Amino acid sequence: MKKHMCNECKLRAKYDEKPNSFVGKFWRWHINFCPGWKAYLKSLDNDAKNKLKLKYNLKNS
Protein backbone atom coordinates (compact mmCIF):
# COMPACT_ATOMS: atom_id res chain seq x y z
CA MET A 1 0.00 0.00 0.00
CA LYS A 2 1.36 3.39 -0.98
CA LYS A 3 1.88 5.85 1.86
CA HIS A 4 0.29 9.24 1.35
CA MET A 5 2.07 12.27 2.73
CA CYS A 6 -1.11 14.27 3.31
CA ASN A 7 -0.87 13.84 7.08
CA GLU A 8 2.55 15.46 7.02
CA CYS A 9 1.83 18.13 4.40
CA LYS A 10 3.26 21.50 5.41
CA LEU A 11 0.59 23.35 3.44
CA ARG A 12 -2.14 21.44 5.26
CA ALA A 13 -0.51 22.33 8.58
CA LYS A 14 -0.54 26.00 7.54
CA TYR A 15 -4.25 25.72 6.71
CA ASP A 16 -4.95 24.12 10.09
CA GLU A 17 -3.00 26.90 11.79
CA LYS A 18 -4.38 29.85 9.80
CA PRO A 19 -7.12 28.92 7.31
CA ASN A 20 -7.47 32.49 6.02
CA SER A 21 -3.79 32.93 5.19
CA PHE A 22 -2.71 32.91 1.55
CA VAL A 23 -1.00 29.52 1.95
CA GLY A 24 -4.02 28.12 3.78
CA LYS A 25 -6.39 29.28 1.06
CA PHE A 26 -4.05 27.91 -1.59
CA TRP A 27 -4.03 24.46 0.06
CA ARG A 28 -7.81 24.43 0.36
CA TRP A 29 -8.16 25.36 -3.32
CA HIS A 30 -5.53 22.79 -4.29
CA ILE A 31 -7.28 19.81 -2.69
CA ASN A 32 -10.24 20.28 -5.01
CA PHE A 33 -8.27 18.62 -7.82
CA CYS A 34 -5.17 17.09 -6.20
CA PRO A 35 -4.92 13.41 -7.20
CA GLY A 36 -2.82 12.66 -4.12
CA TRP A 37 -5.48 14.07 -1.79
CA LYS A 38 -8.21 12.11 -3.56
CA ALA A 39 -6.19 8.89 -3.27
CA TYR A 40 -5.52 9.68 0.39
CA LEU A 41 -9.24 10.08 1.07
CA LYS A 42 -10.00 6.79 -0.70
CA SER A 43 -7.43 5.02 1.47
CA LEU A 44 -9.16 6.08 4.70
CA ASP A 45 -11.95 4.25 6.45
CA ASN A 46 -15.39 5.87 6.40
CA ASP A 47 -15.13 7.29 9.93
CA ALA A 48 -11.82 9.06 9.24
CA LYS A 49 -13.05 10.24 5.85
CA ASN A 50 -16.21 11.71 7.39
CA LYS A 51 -14.18 13.55 10.03
CA LEU A 52 -12.05 15.15 7.32
CA LYS A 53 -15.15 16.06 5.31
CA LEU A 54 -16.54 17.89 8.32
CA LYS A 55 -13.24 19.51 9.27
CA TYR A 56 -12.51 20.84 5.78
CA ASN A 57 -16.10 21.29 4.62
CA LEU A 58 -15.65 18.88 1.71
CA LYS A 59 -18.71 18.31 -0.45
CA ASN A 60 -17.87 15.87 -3.24
CA SER A 61 -14.99 13.84 -1.87
Q: For the segment 19-45, what is each residue's pLDDT rounded down to a tens digit?
A: 999 999 999 999 999 999 999 999 999
Query: Is the pLDDT assigned to residue 18 strictly greater than 60?
Result: yes
pLDDT at 29: 95
pLDDT at 61: 58
Q: Please report, for residues 4, 13, 16, 43, 59, the alpha-carbon distance to residue 8 in angstroms, rounded to integers and kept in the order given.
A: 9, 8, 12, 15, 23
Domain presence at residue 1: no
Domain presence at residue 18: yes
What is the pTM (predicted TM-score) of this model?
0.84
Domain presence at residue 61: no
Q: How confident is the model at residue 2 (pLDDT cuts 50, 70, 90)?
A: low
Domain presence at residue 15: yes
Domain presence at residue 30: yes
CA torsion through residues 25, 38, 3, 51, sign: positive
pLDDT at 16: 96
- Our count of domains for the chain comes to 1
- Domain region containing 36: 6-55
